[in-house]
Structure 1
Amino acid sequence: MPARTPRSSAPARSSTPARSSARRSANHHGIHLLRSAAAVRGLVESAGLGPDSLVLDLGAGPGTLTAPLARTGARVLAIERDPGFLTRLERRFGDHPNVRVVAGDLVKVPLPRRPFQVVASIPYDLSTLLLRRLLPDANGDASSLAAADLVVEWGFAQRVSRALPRDLETARWGATYELGVIRRVRAAAFAPAPSVDSAHLRVRPRPGLAGRRVRLVLYAMLAEAYRWPDQPARTVVAGVAGRSAARRILGDAGLERGVRAGAVPVDGWAGLARSALDLSRQGR
């Protein structure tokens, strides 16, 4: 695994040779193992899993998240590429009927076609690649992600959860999914402690954006808004819905007529896209 990589790990309560050896190996590769029971509990409780759920533990490590996820009754896919961790996972969960250990890279392993959730402590340097896999792309194509609760680097969580993101890609993510920081996960929650804190990032779909058509309307608006952020938002909406419809859509949204496109938060664009599509369906 790459350097400075947060991972899940059971809390070390003794200095047995096996545990000491595992920690030395992890440290050699720069892996920081999540060992906070409170952080693990917060992730699992936030996910709200049940017997009908399918959940992916990406980068499962020795299975600290895998175990409490399995206790919810959900079907768990514990995905890991490190041979040592895979051996431990197979030994620990080989007889569990609702846990399947999968050897694979979390940014390459095929994702389920049925709705699934993700609960994981993921490598800092793979956070962007993972969200690109899980969230819709610029063409509106999406995975079957129903929800995610992730431990990511604190600064990354702050960037992707802004109401006014700095870049178009992050704006697409935030307009389609609610990205919120639930809590700070201190560096001391890992062994060894990384140089920065992490965050519990909660990812949930925004209502009314499940269809590809509405996402394409939304992304067309966002692309125009980020190309010329100083233009009026009504101009952006008019390009999709027409001038008369744009006035009504902005009025219904409670936005001032002259509001700048760059001043509209991502959830505002989501609402504008839904309204534009609704009016087009009504033939107005």
Structure 2
Amino acid sequence: MRGRPLLPFLRIAGWLPPWLAPGTLIPGVPAMRAPASNPSGVHFLRDRTVIAGLLRSARPRGGDLVLELGAGPGVLTAALAGTGARIVAVERDAAFAARLRRRFAQRPVTVVEDDLRRVRLPRRLFAVVANLPFATGTAVLRRLLGGRDVPLRGADLLVEWGFARRLTRPVPRDAETAWWAARYELRIARRVPATAFAPAPRVAAAHLVVRPRQLDRRALPVLRALLTDAYRRPAAPLTAVLAAHVPAARAHRLARSTGIAPPAIAGAVPPSVWAALAAAAVVAEPAARARSIS
């Protein structure tokens, strides 16, 4: 082995030498274009600055449960394990999973060999920190944000740049994305260059931050109904959509309470405003019932 380069070993092991200065790339993981035979969109993270940004945003601490979806060679896993949080690293590839088990045998890391799109989610409060394969973004977000009973504390995800831009539009294009954005704050923390990954994708990535909004659970059925109706009738006046789900006499009052002018059309209303309207509707209902009784 004398004279053989160490780089291939580093590429396989995903080892991050402690002496590397922040902002440097992991040696042995060359910058290259993603080949056409990479339909899953797997790109291994190799930039320490990006890893540090994920951890600063997520702030995992001792006792926290953190789910890492698509752990790969374990570069991000190692950083997460150093926080003292309990890490569940999900990896579909059997060779990578075996390597992860050996590497983190003495660390608070549980390796689950499963598809990140189908793995069972924790029942207790958890966070997600992950470098998602670009092809899995929609499926993963659908699982994390689509249901009502997922105990998600927050997520910090590396996703494809265009996908992140679509998710964070002021007014989403479809009702499903609006349902996510009404219940969770979705924002882009930073643009991540293709050179932060190996193989390098053809497009940039984004650090997507997901945080739950504080919503009364009683408002969720109303919110779902409002969004469904709004996206079915985007040209209808906001008050007309409201009046289909709350007493007409209160529709204008609810609209004014959120600062929306009555001429506004349903298709121009941001998801956060629909959430506020749904919350106001469930608060107003008991008050109106009490007045009618008295």
TM superposition score normalised by structure 1: 0.88
- Report the equivalent of 1:216: 221
- Report the equivalent of 2:241: 236
Q: Tell me whether 87-96 or 110-119 shows the greater mean CA deviation.
A: 87-96
Q: Structure 2 residue aligned with 1:74, among 82, 85, 90?
A: 85
Structure 1: gaps of 5 or more residues:
1-13
Q: Structure 2 residue aligned with 1:112, among 117, 122, 129?
A: 122
Structure 1 residue identity aligned to 2:226 = M
- Report the equivalent of 1:99: 109
Give yes or no for the alignment of 1:48 onto 2:53: no
Cα displacement (A) at 1:276: 0.6
1:125-176 superposed Cα distances (whole Å, 9 cap, x missing partner): 1111111111134xxx331111000000000000011110111111111111
Cα displacement (A) at 1:224: 0.7
Q: Distance in 1 between matches of 2:240 and 2:72?
A: 50
Cα displacement (A) at 1:27: 7.0
Structure 1 residue identity aligned to 2:181 = G
Q: Distance in 1 between matches of 2:53 and 2:70?
A: 18
Structure 1 residue identity aligned to 2:232 = R
Q: Quick one: percent identity of the two aligned structures? A: 48
Structure 1 residue identity aligned to 2:82 = R
Q: Is the 8 A contact 1:57 1:79 kept in 2?
A: yes
Q: Tell me whether 74-83 or 29-38 shows the greater mean CA deviation.
A: 29-38
- Report the equivalent of 1:65: 76
Give the count of matched residue pairs.
264
- Report the equivalent of 1:161: 168
Structure 2: gaps of 5 or more residues:
14-28, 290-294
RMSD: 1.9
Q: Distance in 1 between matches of 2:182 and 2:12?
A: 45
- Report the equivalent of 2:257: 252
Give yes or no for the alignment of 1:281 onto 2:294: no
Task: Give the secondary structure class of the aligned counterpart of 1:118.
Answer: strand
Q: Is the 8 A contact 1:136 1:142 kept in 2?
A: no
Task: Give the secondary structure class of the aligned counterpart of 2:75.
Answer: coil
Structure 2 residue identity aligned to 1:101 = V
Cα displacement (A) at 1:281: 2.9
Cα displacement (A) at 1:34: 0.8
1:197-227 superposed Cα distances (whole Å, 9 cap, x missing partner): 0000000111225x2x311110100111111
Cα displacement (A) at 1:19: 3.0
Q: Structure 1 residue aligned with 2:193, among 165, 186, 196?
A: 186
Task: Give the secondary structure class of the aligned counterpart of 2:244.
Answer: helix
